[in-house]
Amino acid sequence: MSRLRYLPVLLLALLCATLPGCDKSNKMPSGSWSPYADVIFTGGEVVTVAKGFPLAKGLAIKDGKVIVVGTSEEVLAYRGPNTKVIDATGKTIIPGLQDSHNHFLSLGYDLKHSADLTFARSPAEVVKAVADLKAQLNPAAGAWIGGARWDQYKYPQMFTRWQLDAVTPDNPVRLSRVYRGVAVNTAVFHLMGIDDNKPATWPAWWEKNPADFTSEDQILRARRTITVNGQQREVEVPTGVFLGVKASQLVTVTMPERSFEEDVASVKAGAEKLLSLGITAIVDPASRMGYNMRVYQEAYNRGWLPFRIAAVYEGIFFQEAPEVIAAHLDGIKINRLGDRFLKWQGTKFYADGGAGSRSSWVSEPFEDWEEKESKPYFGLPVMQDDAIREKQFRAAVDRGWDLNTHNTGDRSMRQSVNLYMKLMDEIHAKRPDADLRWSIIHAYMPIEPKTMVLPDLAKYKIIVAPNPNFLWQLGHSFQENLGPERVTRVMPFRSYVKGGVIMASGSDYSVAHYDPWLGVYAMLTRKEQSTGTVLGAAETVGIEDALRSYTINGAYLTYDDKTRGTLEVGKLADLVVLDIPGIKQLEAHPEWCLTMKDRVLLTLVEGKVGYRRDGFAF
């Protein structure tokens, strides 16, 4: 055992010897400061995630920090008359998790008011989720019903508005796709003034797609019999499903905006849910030009922020002129404002779309382009002009803001990495010790032959922020659009680790589910949800690397690695107690990750209870 592990015990003994009234009976005078631990865990497996991934059997906490990690006997040396001692035998203790990409603001509201379609694998299950939400909310006629995370690739056939009409005849329904798409029922069309049986009310796009549609845009249609002036007619009409950005924008009525007060309350409820899964910190990758930060600040002021929003990225920036970006950031006049519970830092740029919507910017054409686009199709870059993108980046970098860029396709990754390297070289030429923790968000395709960026990511210490749960939740759509070979290289976890690239994983809620353990499962197995197909077994990793991506690597991304992210002496006591006998058991039983929400027993933030499962003694 390291000599350093004994140091706190020695210091405690010396301190006790110098304090009046401190004797071998471990009693302290009333009202005096106590040198003893507030909380001690013994008997469990303490997964430190420190260098070398050492394990321990005990841990002691005082004043919100870890004061010793070692054997049960060593930590019990800190036991005093008021120390809470927890027998964690048969349990596993890990650092608190960080979700490094979570559009968190709506989560608490969504938990109550939105149908979660993540686990639906058929039209019937989608309709049932909507019907169950309606029964729960008992909405008045005309009140909206919402939902999210459907994906047409997971179903034998796509659901239609007529199926939704059967369970929601009096309520407009709007269901968001996982990304770039929306489905509505007939009541929504009525709000738009459209009547199936009155062709005069049909918009121009009812029977024919607009000329400006991109390859990702579709309006799904089905043949129906309608009655016009007493005469029946067969016609192809929209099913209520719109795919792609431009197609979705044709639905011109939407649900009422949440109020500021509803958003503040959503923060409180959302934090409670994430704490129940072991998440103690998140990154919100889009401030919505400052609005989210105002909500979070109000929640913080009210004492409703029991975990860490470690970074809120300003943006999102798309095709804005560089001078517009500069003026916006000059107007904020702050960067890295906040404390360990809430901080505004970093900017977010957008470079392309997503693989499941055929909008990633890629070097090889999408699968089945002959049928779908009739010519080789390479996706939808946001800013193809490198010179303008460079000026956009400079507008942020010159004002001290970190760069974090949405990249899914390999061509967009190559563009961003090239510009990052150029800017980093300039900065380091003037400030060799500059600590630049810039990231590539999503980072699907770093090892494509024409655009290989992985070595450059490692050399320049550019962080990647993947969403492993996408492979589980959206893997089938990735395979359909990228092909069976290329999909095995998407988010290559093992290549990232072997190549020395830092991964800081996140969920990308509300695109995907917020449960971090679905992401861990994907990293261990690379199985996709709908069929269980393994999408590239060679790119799985073990639990050590998976856990690092949700703990210390996330803390590194947000400049917090010196204070949290591992269970080491002196670090903040953010930790989770799991009802599993050892962390390696998740490699033997990865399916446990799918039920981990039932295995989280306790979550502490700086030693204080953020979540405790009923029946767990603490």
How many angstroms separate the CA atoms of 515 and 522, rounded?
A: 12
Q: Which helix (H) or strand (E) holds 543?
A: helix 543-549
How many angstroms separate the CA atoms of 235 and 387, rounded?
A: 49
Return the residue matching tokens 């798409």.
181
Q: What is the mean pLDDT of residues 198-216?
A: 96
Q: What is the mean pLDDT of residues 427-440?
A: 98
pLDDT > 90 in the chain, percent? 92
Nearest CA-CA partner of 280 in 439, 95, 444: 95
Task: Quote the DSSP letter at residue 565.
Answer: S
Write out pLDDT tens, residues 512-535: 999 999 999 999 999 999 999 999
How many other C-beta atoms are found inside a 10 Å radius of the C-beta of residue 81?
10
> How much is the pLDDT for 19?
39
> How much is the pLDDT for 334?
78
Write out pLDDT tens, residues 4-24: 343 444 444 444 433 333 433
Q: Which of 197, 231, 248 is the last residue of a domain?
A: 248
Write out pLDDT tens, residues 243-276: 999 999 999 999 999 999 999 999 999 999 999 9
> How much is the pLDDT for 108?
98
Residue 174's domain is classified under what CATH number? 3.10.310.70
Nearest CA-CA partner of 66 in 78, 54, 53: 78
Contact call for residues 85 and 59 (beta carbons, < 8 A): no
**Residues 151 and 80 grouped into a single domain:** no
Q: What is the mean pLDDT of residues 401-428?
A: 98
Contact call for residues 127 and 159 (beta carbons, < 8 A): yes
For 521, the token pair is: 């499962």
Q: What is the mean pLDDT of residues 52-70?
A: 98
How many angstroms separate the CA atoms of 581 and 57, rounded?
A: 12
Residue 87's domain is classified under what CATH number? 2.30.40.10
Query: Does a structural domain hold residue 362?
Result: no
Confidence (pTM): 0.94
Alpha-carbon Rg for the chain, nearest whole angstrom, is 26
> How much is the pLDDT for 316?
97
Q: What values do phi and psi take at 101, rounded to 5? A: -165, 90
Write out pLDDT tens, residues 320-370: 999 999 999 999 887 888 999 999 999 999 999 999 999 999 999 999 999
Q: What is the mean pLDDT of residues 149-164?
A: 97
**Residues 69 and 152 grouped into a single domain:** no
**Residues 69 and 116 grouped into a single domain:** no
Relative to beta strand 575-578, strand 92-95 is antiparallel
Length of the chain: 618
For 131, the token pair is: 């019907």
Query: Does a structural domain hold residue 40?
Result: yes
**Residues 115 and 242 grouped into a single domain:** yes
**Residues 243 and 122 grouped into a single domain:** yes
- At 196, is the secondary structure helix, strand, or coil? coil
Torsion of CA 431, 437, 442, 445, to 10 degrees: 50
Return the residue matching tokens 């290549």.
495
Q: Which helix (H) or strand (E) holds 186?
A: helix 186-191
Q: Which of 197, 214, 248 is the last residue of a domain?
A: 248
Q: What is the mean pLDDT of residues 219-244?
A: 94
**Residues 238 and 121 grouped into a single domain:** yes
Nearest CA-CA partner of 244 in 192, 174, 183: 183
Query: Does a structural domain hold residue 179?
Result: yes
Whether the predicted pLDDT of 33 surpasses 80:
no
Whether the predicted pLDDT of 27 surpasses 50:
no
Whether the predicted pLDDT of 45 surpasses 80:
yes
Torsion of CA 284, 577, 571, 348, to 10 degrees: -10
Query: Does a structural domain hold residue 465?
Result: no
**Residues 88 and 122 grouped into a single domain:** no
- Lowest pLDDT segment from 331-335, 505-509, 578-582: 331-335
> How much is the pLDDT for 228?
84
**Residues 244 and 142 grouped into a single domain:** yes
Average pLDDT of every residue of the chain = 94
Please name the amino acid found at residue 511. V
Report how many domains make up the chain: 2
**Residues 180 and 91 grouped into a single domain:** no
Return the residue matching tokens 């906490």.
61
How many angstroms separate the CA atoms of 207 and 198, rounded?
A: 13
Which range of residues forms the domain containing residue 618? Answer: 1-96+566-618
Query: Does a structural domain hold residue 71?
Result: yes
The number of helices, as runs of H, and strands, as runs of E, in the chain is: 20, 22
Following DSSP, what letter does each residue of 344-386 receive, concatenated? Answer: EEEEEEE----TTTT-S--SSPPTTHHHHTSS------S---H
How many angstroms separate the CA atoms of 560 and 107, rounded?
A: 24
**Residues 180 and 77 grouped into a single domain:** no
Contact call for residues 441 and 101 (beta carbons, < 8 A): yes
Whether the predicted pLDDT of 156 surpasses 70:
yes
How many other C-beta atoms are found inside a 10 Å radius of the C-beta of residue 24?
6
Nearest CA-CA partner of 608 in 307, 375, 327: 307
Q: Which of 224, 248, 272 is the last residue of a domain?
A: 248
How many angstroms separate the CA atoms of 308 and 98, rounded?
A: 9
How many angstroms separate the CA atoms of 483 and 76, rounded?
A: 56
Is the model more confident about 57 or about 25?
57
Under the banding of pLDDT at 50, 70 and 90, the label for residue 196 is very high
538 burial (CB, 10 Å; 0-12 / 13-18 / 19+) is exposed
**Residues 240 and 160 grouped into a single domain:** yes
Under the banding of pLDDT at 50, 70 and 90, the label for residue 34 is confident
